[in-house]
Amino acid sequence: MHRTIFDTPVVSTLLRAGSVAFLHFTGWTVEGRLPPGTAKCVLIAAPHTSNWDLPYTLMVAFSLRLHIYWMGKQSLFNPPFRGLMMWLGGIPVNREKSTGFVLASVAAIKAATDGLQLVVPPEGTRGRTRHWKTGFYHIALGAEVPIVMAYMDYDRKVSGLGPVFTPTGDIERDMASIKSFYAPFKGRNARLFDPE
């Protein structure tokens, strides 16, 4: 994986302090921490209903001392922003065609020598959708890493890391369990989030 802002010691230390202060003064609470044995994992990013999710996700990641990479639509990485988005931990995804992204993500997680948390929004879009994409599930299953259920509840101004979920291979049952965890949370545009 490419180097990111999380690999830049002085900058990341300053941004962590700034993130903690900003979240505190704007009334946000950050809960949980990365459990032992989950330095390599897939983080579900839900609900995802707004462009504001990215800056808040980065601030929460700094607050929790995570080393995240996140998936974003290809257009976010068009010039002149590509370098910045990559430095922020972004990985461009072309949603129009299958590009072997799941297999590449599995290989990258397995090859990582340090911690690597891959943030994946299961809705695949900020718009309303009833069907979650299952790429995050197949990445975790293939890389043999746990899924950590991260959340951002704009209604209560609470974000953090929830329980660890180990995929069983029974995708229908597992997805039902995962979605039930997210049912109470409200995205910034709550009407766009459908965990059913």
Q: Is the pTM of this model over 0.85?
A: yes
**22, pLDDT greater than 60:** yes
Structural domain count of the chain: 1
Report the distance separating Cα 7 and Cα 35, nearest Å: 21
Q: What is the mean predicted confidence (pLDDT) over 130-150?
A: 89
Closest among 35, 190, 41 to 114, alpha carbons compared:
41
| Geometric angle at alpha carbon 39, from 35 and 40, rounded to 5° | 125
Mean pLDDT of the chain: 87
pLDDT band at 95 (very low <50, low <70, confident <90, very high): low
pLDDT grade for 188, boundaries at 50, 70 and 90: confident
- Provide the residue range defining the domain that includes 83: 5-192
DSSP state string for 131-168: ----HHHHHHHHHT--EEEEEEETTTTEEEEEEEE---
Strands 90-93 and 147-153: unpaired
Higher per-residue pLDDT: 46 or 21:
21
Q: What share of the chain is helix, strand, coil (3-state, %, to 5)?
A: 40, 20, 40
**pLDDT computed for residue 33 by the predictor:** 93
Phi, psi dihedral angles at 21 (to 5 degrees): -65, -45
CATH number at residue 122: 3.40.1130.10
Query: How far is residue 169 CA from its own chain's centroid?
Result: 21
Tell me the Cα Rg of the chain. 16
